[in-house]
Amino acid sequence: MFGNPPAADIAARLRAARVVAVVGLSADPARPSHRVARALQQYGYRIIPVTPAGGEILGETAVPDLAHAHEALQSGESIDIVDVFRRPEHVPAIVEECIRLALPALWLQDGVIDEAAAERARAAGIFTVMDRCIYRDRAALVA
């Protein structure tokens, strides 16, 4: 059974991160993904919107998938966390993309649960958090 990393490890990851790719980020300010991404920006993270809808969200150019997110990076940047706001049936493909791209951390938001995919990500060396809100953890764990 999957278990999340200890709170101290989550806090350390959140402190070290600078760039968060938000998969499933909505342009609609009423959606949780939009509110969370905006809050992450207020904490100083750069967000990269990952959505096939394209366009601009929260002042950043949206990309269709994680492979294209690398194109949105500025010199010296890397994706530190992939934050997922997609339904659980999409998680296995996202995990495969994270593994293929050797991304360091995967965060599955509240209600985004796929234990097998989370275990696969962890087995591939990806720091994995499931069924937790990155904003709530950032607010609670990082001073």
Domains (range + CATH), the chain? 7-141 (3.40.50.720)
The predicted-structure confidence for 58-104, as pLDDT tens digits, reads as follows 999 999 999 999 888 989 999 999 999 999 999 999 999 999 999 99
pTM over 0.85: yes
pLDDT, residue 1, reads 87
Q: For 17-85, give the DSSP string.
A: --EEEEET--S-TTSHHHHHHHHHHHTT-EEEEE-TT-SEETTEE-BSSHHHHHHHPPTT----EEEE-
pLDDT, residue 143, reads 76
What residue has token string 């709170």? 7
